[in-house]
């Protein structure tokens, strides 16, 4: 890929908001916008971060090479599967899916489509979480 990868975000809740905020300003990547199922939340994020939302997942996928999936776990399989099916790379916030069978299915599909799947485990390196571990 000779130009910056085009990356979008699926889900604009509290964690999705931060993915959008950081990706919007990230050098070396082109932020393509986000999609959010709650129209009111989409308008809030658009206004606060001065970014663009897409009307649906298909529109976001059409504009993106990769997506960050930040939706409830019960939706991971459907959302990531739709992206992978269209040849998009995905970063999925943990856990990968709700079941082992869904995870295996996503990984098999990714292998067939030749795309990358990454799972976010960022809290493992969060200083506050690491400091609390010995006390849990």
pLDDT digit string (tens) for 58-117?
999 999 999 999 999 999 999 999 999 999 999 999 999 999 999 999 999 999 999 999
Determine the pLDDT at residue 133. Answer: 73
| pLDDT above 70: residue 23 | yes
| pLDDT above 60: residue 1 | no
Give 53's contacts (C-beta < 8 A, 6+ positions apart). 12, 33, 34, 35, 36, 42, 43, 45, 46
């Amino acid at each position: 890929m000779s130009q910056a990868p085009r990356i979008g975000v699926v889900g604009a809740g509290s964690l999705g908001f931060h993915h959008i905020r950081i990706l919007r300003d990230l050098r070396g990547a082109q932020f393509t916008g986000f999609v959010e199922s709650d129209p009111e939340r989409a308008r809030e994020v658009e206004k606060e971060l001065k970014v663009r939302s897409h009307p649906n997942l298909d529109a976001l996928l059409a504009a993106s090479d990769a997506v960050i999936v930040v939706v409830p776990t019960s939706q991971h399989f459907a959302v990531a599967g739709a992206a992978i099916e269209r040849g998009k790379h995905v970063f999925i916030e943990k856990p990968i899916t709700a079941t082992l069978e869904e995870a295996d299915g996503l990984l098999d599909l990714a292998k067939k489509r030749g795309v990358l799947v990454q799972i976010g485990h960022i809290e493992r390196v969060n200083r506050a979480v690491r400091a609390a571990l010995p006390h849990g």
